Amino acid sequence: PNSKQGDGKPRLLLMGQRRSGKSSISSVVFHKMPPSETLYLETTTRITKDQMHSFMDFQVWDFPGHLDYFDPAFDVDNIFGEIGALVWVIDAQDEYLDAINRLNTTILNLQQHYPSINVEVFVHKVDGLSEDYKSDTFRDIIQRVQDELSDNGYENAPVSFYQTSIYDHSIFEAFSKVIQKLIPQLPTLESLLNSLCSTCRIEKAYLFDVLSKIYIATDTSPTDIGSYEICSDYIDVIVDISEIYGWDRSNPDAQKTGDSSAQDVSGDSGNDDAESLITMEKKGSNYLYLREINKYLALICIMSEDSPTEKKALVDYNVSIFQEALQKVFQR
């Protein structure tokens, strides 16, 4: 339902006013730009379509803030007909009343014609704000949107709110939650991860899209940003190593077949013989276990264990079973 192209890939649209941070977000999350370099980005003055080669094809359409996209001359269906989620960026360090008015108008317009689109509001640039001001602003924005919608008789709108910044992990965490809503297999992935965790006494397991560091699923035990951060930092280390030893992620031909990651395991990358990387390492009082599942996905587990070497065989075995199950899930 999220894609009329029939490729089953979730598509995202990134919108918001000029200077709200749209280009920065897509550069940092999808193109590995260091946050401080976004200071020199040109502000967006046109619609840009950004193809993302990853487990899924994210399409980040970066809209200029002033554009009137509900103008009849605009091909609205072309824009909204194919997306699963609209990410709306609000600059929390700036005057935001205009932004909220535009957001409300957009939600009410969308509701009539495209009620299945999730609206995901990023209250952005919260890094510069004090804790008090941050939570007041967040609450104020939620209130203003909800009031306006219920004044218009629109209750229970599919609108969610996140506090984000490109200077910490919050932008990745928010995108993870946005993407997960667009993955129909999510409940199956979660229960596979749950059973892996309980069999091997793993504390937390994440299935990461390696390139974007977005996690597409985790087990259903409580998540904290700390464990996400540990795993995300570990991926940075591993990506460096796997560029030498692991899957060839740079081959453009291999990335055309994105609909089935299972297909990619057999691989058309010309790199079929590559062993998937498996590592286990001590990190503070924990052990981190990482295994590449295919070209795009890696499983990372956090364990606290006294004698991890004995356990590694057990984990290896169960992760293999998990990997097979995962292939079946995506083949269907």
Return the number of the residue (53 or 125) whose C-beta is nearest ligand GDP: 125
Q: What minimum distance in Å lies between the beta carbon of 47 and ligand GDP?
A: 12
b/e map 312-322, b = 16+ CB within 10 Å = beebeebbeeb
Q: What minimum distance in Å lies between the beta carbon of 274 and ligand GDP?
A: 36
Binding residue (CB under 6 A) for ligand GDP from 19, 134, 169, 181: 19
Which region among 101-109, 162-170, 191-199, 205-213 touches ligand GDP (by CB under 6 A)?
162-170
Strand partners, 324: none
> Contact 99/17 with Cβ under 8 angstroms?
yes
> Contact 304/203 with Cβ under 8 angstroms?
yes
Task: State the number of binding residues for ligand GDP (CB under 6 A).
Answer: 20
Binding residue (CB under 6 A) for ligand GDP from 111, 167, 180, 190: 167
**Residues 6 or more apart whose Cβ sits within 8 Å of residue 293:** 207, 261, 276, 299, 323, 326
Q: What minimum distance in Å lies between the beta carbon of 165 and ligand GDP?
A: 4
Return the number of the residue (2 or 23) whose C-beta is nearest ligand GDP: 23
Give the relative orientation of helices 131-151 and 97-113 as an angle to the nearest 10 degrees: 40
Q: What minimum distance in Å lies between the beta carbon of 48 and ligand GDP?
A: 9
Contact set for ligand GDP, span 115-144 (CB under 6 A): 124-125, 127-128
Contact set for ligand GDP, span 36-55 (CB under 6 A): 38-39, 41, 43-44
d(CA 69, CA 64): 10
Return the number of the residue (23 or 104) whose C-beta is nearest ligand GDP: 23
Return the number of the residue (66 or 332) whose C-beta is nearest ligand GDP: 66
> Contact 11/3 with Cβ under 8 angstroms?
yes
Return the number of the residue (166 or 210) whose C-beta is nearest ligand GDP: 166
Return the number of the residue (88 or 228) whose C-beta is nearest ligand GDP: 88
Interface with ligand GDP, residue 23, by CB under 6 A: yes
Q: What minimum distance in Å lies between the beta carbon of 177 and ligand GDP?
A: 17
In terms of C-beta density within 10 A (0-12 exposed, 13-18 middle, 19 or more buried), how is residue 289 classed? buried
Q: What minimum distance in Å lies between the beta carbon of 329 and ligand GDP?
A: 34
CB atoms within 10 A of CB 292: 23
Return the number of the residue (73 or 97) whose C-beta is nearest ligand GDP: 97
d(CA 241, CA 212): 17
Q: Which ranges constitute the DSSP H helices of 9-159? A: 22-31, 76-80, 97-113, 131-151
Query: Which residues lie near ligand GDP (CB under 6 A)?
Result: 16, 18-24, 38-39, 41, 43-44, 124-125, 127-128, 165-167
